[in-house]
């Protein structure tokens, strides 16, 4: 079967950007989760299904199957011959440097606990048809600004503080950021090379909050007092992913991407 992609979450930050990018190469359908259920999209055949939608109660409340949209999507498909993209969070790991996929999972919050439960279920049901991406912080613009947000991205918080136009204090942890461009490229190549498995998606380099803030806006950078800290510092090892798709993204490339955002 030729690659035909279904994306669920058409107005989400990830869904909109991934759909826009993949449409250059593949036949892509994109729906909200509500339309996916109402229009019975699950009766159609796809080579890959990508879910970017999430229920707000899945983020802060104890795990409940009715709030697990990934599980509900899978249960609605009778024919499960497609490859399924699952977006996990780096918060399933205890913060430290160069975290591999093999380390013992130590979720940082309820959201991460729920994500682990879902990933285990999907692996049991789909096994070799699962592509689980444990993603570091994603940088990119939202295209639906007034759209309700289930949770904030780094850039959402950045914009909120910038609008206040006040001096603030920020802990200068190092993080592992990726651009939305790189995430889209990773997904495209995983589809193209027909790869499945569990992968960290990162650039695997230390990027301090002070650095990325300066890349985004020198003026805003000058208004921040950065406090040395490593309370929540982390990087993810991307060796497993790079070995499969042989595509990397450097700190220099991220710097260029951030400067072009003009936020």
pLDDT of residue 113: 98
What is the pLDDT confidence band of residue 20, given thresholds at 50, 70 and 90? very high
What is the pLDDT confidence band of residue 162, given thresholds at 50, 70 and 90? confident
Q: Does residue 42 register a pLDDT over 70?
A: yes
pLDDT of residue 150: 65
Contact 206, 250 (CB under 8 A): no
Q: Does residue 152 register a pLDDT over 80?
A: no
Q: Does residue 105 register a pLDDT over 80?
A: yes
Residue 235 makes CB contacts below 8 A (sequence gap 6+) with 97, 98, 99, 136, 174, 175, 176, 202, 204, 205, 206
Residue 234 makes CB contacts below 8 A (sequence gap 6+) with 90, 93, 95, 96, 97, 99, 174, 175, 176
Q: Does residue 183 register a pLDDT over 70?
A: yes
Task: Report d(CA 70, CA 84) in Å as an integer.
Answer: 9
Q: Does residue 1 register a pLDDT over 60?
A: no
Q: Compute the average pLDDT of residues 77-89.
A: 92
Task: Report d(CA 37, CA 34) in Å as an integer.
Answer: 5
**Which region, left, alpha or beta, applies to residue 79 given φ > 0 means left and ψ of -120 to 50 means alpha?**
beta
Name the pTM for this structure.
0.93
- Residue 127: Cβ-neighbour burial (10 angstroms; 0-12, 13-18, 19+): exposed
What the chain holds in terms of domains, given with CATH numbers, is 4-140+176-202+236-246 (3.40.50.720)
Burial pattern 168-181, b for ≥16 Cβ within 10 A else e, equals eeeebbbbbbbbbb
């Amino acid at each position: 079967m030729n690659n035909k992609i279904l994306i669920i979450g058409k107005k989400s930050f990830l869904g909109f950007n991934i759909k826009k990018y993949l449409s250059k190469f593949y036949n892509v359908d994109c729906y909200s989760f509500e339309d996916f259920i109402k229009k019975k999209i699950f009766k159609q055949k796809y080579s890959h299904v990508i879910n970017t939608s999430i229920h707000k109660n899945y983020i802060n409340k104890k795990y409940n199957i009715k709030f697990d949209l990934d599980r509900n999507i899978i249960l609605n498909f009778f024919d499960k011959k497609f490859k399924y993209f699952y977006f996990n969070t780096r918060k399933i790991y205890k913060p430290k440097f160069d975290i591999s996929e093999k380390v013992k999972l130590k979720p940082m919050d309820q959201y991460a606990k729920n994500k682990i439960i879902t990933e285990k279920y999907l692996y049991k049901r789909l096994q070799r048809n699962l592509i689980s991406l444990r993603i570091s912080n994603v940088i990119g613009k939202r295209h639906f600004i007034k759209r309700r947000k289930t949770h904030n991205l780094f850039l959402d918080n950045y914009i909120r503080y910038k609008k206040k136009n006040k001096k603030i204090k920020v802990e200068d942890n190092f993080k592992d950021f990726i651009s939305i461009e790189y995430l889209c490229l990773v997904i495209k190549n995983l589809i193209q090379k027909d790869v499945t498995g569990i992968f960290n998606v990162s650039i695997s380099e230390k990027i301090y909050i002070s650095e990325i803030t300066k890349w985004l806006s020198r003026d805003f950078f000058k208004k921040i007092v950065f406090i040395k800290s490593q309370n929540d510092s982390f990087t993810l090892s991307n060796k497993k992913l790079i070995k499969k798709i042989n595509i990397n993204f450097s700190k220099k490339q991220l710097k260029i991407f951030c400067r072009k955002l003009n936020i």
